[in-house]
Amino acid sequence: MRIVIAKPGLDGHDRGAKVIARALADSGAEVIYTGLRQTPEQIAATVVQEDANAVGLSILSGAHVSLSRKLIGCLRAQGAGDVPVLVGGAIPPADVETLRALGIADVFPTGSPLAEVVAAFMRYERNGAQR
């Protein structure tokens, strides 16, 4: 299981991203954390290069809808449209459905239990291995 955890946009709050990365690693996944200020193009390239089964975005700046839309576009453009994208951060309840409609596999607002987040990623363990 290979998971990319990414911080898109200009937001520098990475506590959540790091905690999730660590929890996934403790659950046996191989985690690639991108560091801050990644563009959607860079994140998609990392997903392809690392042959990831899933990608998690952490966004606390409020720019989650447009950044998610862009990442999904970039993944499709780079032939990785089947890689599920999970999003976490400061997400108002009203935006959860908007994100799902864009094709985001799962949304985890601030305060979501770790076990739930980890289980959501682990569902995609068999995804994309043949790409």
Partner 1 sequence: MSEKRDVTTPSGIPRKTFYGPADWNGSRYAEDVSDPGVFPFTRGVKSEGYRRKLWTMRQYSGFGTAQESNARYRYLLEQGQTGLSVALDLPTQLGYDSDDPRAEEEVGRVGVAIDTLEDMERLFAGIRLDEITTSFTINATAAVLLAMYVAVAKRQGADLRRISGTIQNDILKEYVSRGTWIYPVEPSLRLIVDTIEYCAKEVPRFNAISVAGAHFRDAGATAVQELAFTLSDGITYVERCLARGMAVDAFASNISFFFYTHSDFFEEIAKYRAARRIWARVMRERFRAQNPRSWAFRFGLVCGGSTLQAEQPVNNAIRVAYEAMASIFGGASSIFTAAWDEPFAIPTEQSAELALRTQQILAFETGTAEVADPLGGSYYVESLTDATEREVCALMEEIEGQGGMVPCVESGYIQQLIADEAYQRQRRLESGDEVIVGVNRFRTEGSTRNLELFQIDESSVHRQIDSLHAVKGRRDGVRAEQALAALRAATGSGENLMPPLIEAVESSCTLGEICGLLRSVFGEFREPIVI
Name the helix (H) or strand (E) containing 56. Answer: strand 54-59
* Span near partner 1 by CB under 8 A; candidates 42-50, 76-84, 85-93, 120-128: 85-93
Is the separation of the CB atoms in 108 and 88 below 8 Å? Answer: yes
Instruction: Indicate whether 48 belongs to the interface with partner 1 (CB under 8 A).
Output: no
Select the residue interacting with partner 1 from 2, 14, 46, 123 (CB under 8 A).
14
Is the separation of the CB atoms in 41 and 87 below 8 Å? Answer: no
Q: Which residues bind partner 1 (CB under 8 A)?
A: 5, 9-15, 18-19, 21-23, 25, 31, 33, 35-37, 39, 61-63, 66-67, 90-94, 109-111, 113-115
